[in-house]
């Protein structure tokens, strides 16, 4: 199967130009936050940023950005800087980058200026222990406070601890009012929650569209879209509008049989995080007519799903589609709780193997590639149990080790050799 035949028509995504324009706006708004009199939060990994939107706050991302990841030597230096201060390689690799940048004096540096942005507060919807511990370190070193909203995982009752979640949200608002020195605007909160729902539902439906053969997008296109979630922008109307626009284009591609990859013969699942400094990993199987079309990690990080009684993934209806009105702070926060407790499948740690398997079946996956990330404990938790379950189910699977932000922990040649051997079965 060496070389690729063109089996399906392709065409560039029209929404990409809009996405690039918005990405510039995201960065611009962050860099100019102080000049614009906006509060600033270090945040962005998961969501609930509607709460920040209620204060007109901008987000300085704690996740590494493309600017940092482009320069491999620089990435290595950031890792080493964190390590020198005692934060070893077992600490969250993603967030260690920001710590490293802080120690090197470049974190929050505004391009073209000598000036650094110092956030007012660290804000996070906390999914994993490492995220909260890393944020604690940021807060220490920057001399600012943290506001966490912990996502409780009550197994097997995901919505059981809604009251705990809500009480944290209410407290977070009070603490942000103090940190930002301004009141929470409930109208903006309601709008932000509505937009977070819209963004996640649109992303879920884009993910659903990937079930079709040929898949309308390459997985790398899908992951590009996730940028607004990672930049803490899902609550903004521009982001929600963009995701709905992207969904409309993807649906049109499905109707017209337009493929993300024209040579699609082998549909692959890429599971786990990615080595963000390498842009060839997702493209590599294409030389064998294989293409990544799905990822539990990225679908659940960006979309809203639940597993129905028959074990299939399903996109939930929006609250307003069920007659629930977002009319005040409490109802908005309840809608937020619903979005992130029962419908953030990423948080269902012990169900992950079964969820991954049903995803592979529903999305017509031929084989799975697991990235075992040395720097992300949250993602590798029960990952090997997923590998075992795939093997039992007869789905070919291969794994490779890497670290999402540390080039020193990724051997791209080894990855390619593994994929060469893996794809041979479909020759």
Partner 1 sequence: MSSMYSGFHEAYEGRHDYARAYPGRGVLGYMCTYVPEEVAYAAGFLPVRIVGAHEPESVTAPHLFNMFCAYCRDMLAHGLTGKYDYLKGVVHVSCCEKIRNTYDSWLRHVPDTRGYYLFMPQYIWHRGAVAAFRQEMEHFRRSLEQDWSVSIGDAGLDRAIEVYNENRSLMRQVYDLMLEERPRILGEELMAMGLSSQVMDKVDHSRLVREFLAQVEGRSGDSVVRTMVIGQTDDLALAQLLESMGARVVVDENCFGLRYFWDQVTPGDDRLTAIATRYVERAPCPVKDPQEPRRRVPFVKDLAKRYGVALAVIIYPKFCDPHGYDSPVLTEALQGMGVEVLELEHDFTIPVGQFRTRIEATLEMLQLEVS
What sign for the dihedral angle of Cα 81, 86, 89, 90?
Answer: negative
Query: What is the x/- site pattern for partner 1, positions 312-351, by CB under 8 A?
Result: -------------------------------------xx-
- The bridge status of strand 306-307 relative to strand 313-314 is antiparallel
Cβ neighbourhood burial of 51 (10 Å; 0-12, 13-18, 19+)? buried
Query: Alpha-carbon distance 319 to 323, whole Å?
Result: 7
Work out whether 139 is an interface residue with partner 1 (CB under 8 A). yes
- Which of 32, 145, 416, 418 is close enough to bind partner 1 by CB under 8 A? 145
Candidate ranges 144-152, 200-208, 284-292, 314-322; the one touching partner 1 (CB under 8 A)? 144-152
Candidates 128, 239, 246, 269; binder of partner 1 (CB under 8 A) is: 128
The kind and range of the H/E element at 39 are: none
Judged by CB, which is closer to partner 1: 206, or 389? 389
Of the candidates 17, 36, 136, 280, which one interacts with partner 1 according to CB under 8 A? Answer: 136
| Cβ nearer to partner 1, comparing 67 with 391 | 391
Q: Name the segment binding partner 1 (CB under 8 A); options: 16-24, 100-108, 122-130, 231-239.
A: 122-130
Residue 214 contacts residue 8 (beta carbons within 8 Å): yes
Binding string, 359-398, against partner 1, x = CB under 8 A?
-------------x-x--xx-xxxxxx-xx----------
Contact between 98 and partner 1 (CB under 8 A)? no
Q: Who contacts 260 (Cβ-Cβ below 8 Å, separation ≥6)?
A: 10, 214, 215, 216, 217, 218, 221, 291, 293
- Closest approach, Cβ 130 to partner 1, in A, equals 6
Q: Which of 24, 155, 312, 425 binds partner 1 (CB under 8 A)?
A: 155
Residues 295 and 286: beta-carbon distance below 8 Å:
no
Q: What is the SS3 assignment for 400?
A: strand
- What distance in Å separates the CA atoms of residue 383 and residue 371, rounded to the nearest whole number? 9
Q: Which is nearer to partner 1, 315 or 368 (CB)?
A: 368
Applying CB under 8 A, what is the total number of residues that bind partner 1? Answer: 49
**CA–CA distance, 34 with 252 (Å, rounded to integer):** 41
Q: Quick one: 111 exposed, middle or buried, by C-beta within 10 A (0-12, 13-18, 19+)?
A: exposed
Q: Per CB under 8 A, which region of 145-153, 222-230, 284-292, 318-326 contacts partner 1?
A: 145-153
Task: Decide: is 140 part of the binding site for partner 1 (CB under 8 A).
Answer: yes
* Span near partner 1 by CB under 8 A; candidates 146-154, 224-232, 292-300, 325-333: 146-154
In the list 17, 167, 279, 417, the residue contacting partner 1 (rule: CB under 8 A) is 167
Report the residue from 31, 103, 153, 242 that binds partner 1 according to the rule CB under 8 A: 153
Does 87 interact with partner 1 (rule: CB under 8 A)?
yes
Rule CB under 8 A: say whether 85 interacts with partner 1: yes
* Residue 62, CA atoms < 13 Å, CB-side half-sphere: 32
- Cβ-based neighbours of 55, under 8 Å, separated by 6 or more: 39, 176, 177, 180, 182, 184, 185, 188
Task: Note whether 35 and 110 are within 8 A (CB).
Answer: no
- Which residues of the shown chain bind partner 1 in the complex (CB under 8 A)? 85-88, 90-92, 126, 128-130, 132-137, 139-140, 145-146, 148, 150, 152-155, 157, 160-161, 163-164, 167-168, 171, 349-350, 372, 374, 377-378, 380-385, 387-388
């Amino acid at each position: 199967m060496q070389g690729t035949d063109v089996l399906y028509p392709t065409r560039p995504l029209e929404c990409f130009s809009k996405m690039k324009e918005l990405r510039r706006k995201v960065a611009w708004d962050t860099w100019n936050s102080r000049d614009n009199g906006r509060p600033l939060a270090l945040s962005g990994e998961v969501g609930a940023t509607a709460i920040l939107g209620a204060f007109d706050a901008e987000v300085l991302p704690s996740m590494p950005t493309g600017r940092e990841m482009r320069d491999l030597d620089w990435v290595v230096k950031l890792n080493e800087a964190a390590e020198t201060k005692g934060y070893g390689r077992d600490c969250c690799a993603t967030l260690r980058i920001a710590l490293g940048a802080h120690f090197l004096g470049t974190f929050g540096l505004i391009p073209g200026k000598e000036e650094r942005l110092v956030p007012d507060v660290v804000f996070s919807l906390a999914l994993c222990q490492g995220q909260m511990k890393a944020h604690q370190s940021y807060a220490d070193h920057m001399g600012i406070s943290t506001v966490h909203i912990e996502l409780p995982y009550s197994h097997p009752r995901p919505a059981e601890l809604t009251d705990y979640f809500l009480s944290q949200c209410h407290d977070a608002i009070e603490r942000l009012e103090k940190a930002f020195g301004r009141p929470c605007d409930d109208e903006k909160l309601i709008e932000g929650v509505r937009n977070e729902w819209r963004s996640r539902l649109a992303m879920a439906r884009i993910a659903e569209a990937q079930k079709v053969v040929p898949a309308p997008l390459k997985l790398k296109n899908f992951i590009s879209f996730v940028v607004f979630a990672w930049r803490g922008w899902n609550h903004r109307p521009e982001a929600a509008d963009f995701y709905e626009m992207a969904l409309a284009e993807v649906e049109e591609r499905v109707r017209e049989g337009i493929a993300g990859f024209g040579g699609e013969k082998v549909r692959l699942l890429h599971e786990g995080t990615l080595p963000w400094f390498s842009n060839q990993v997702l493209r590599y199987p294409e030389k064998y007519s294989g293409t990544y079309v799905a990822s539990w990690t990225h679908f659940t990080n960006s979309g809203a799903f639940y597993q129905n009684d028959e074990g299939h993934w399903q996109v939930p209806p929006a609250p307003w589609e069920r007659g629930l009105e977002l009319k005040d702070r409490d109802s908005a926060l309840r809608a937020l709780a619903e979005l992130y407790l029962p419908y953030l499948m990423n948080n269902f740690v012990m169900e992950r193997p079964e969820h991954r398997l049903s995803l592979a079946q529903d999305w017509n996956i031929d084989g799975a590639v697991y990235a075992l990330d040395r720097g992300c404990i949250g993602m590798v938790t029960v990952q090997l149990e997923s590998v075992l379950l795939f093997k039992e189910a007869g789905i070919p699977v291969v794994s490779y080790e890497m670290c999402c932000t540390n080039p020193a922990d990724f051997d791209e040649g080894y990855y390619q050799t593994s994929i060469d051997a893996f794809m041979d079965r479909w020759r």
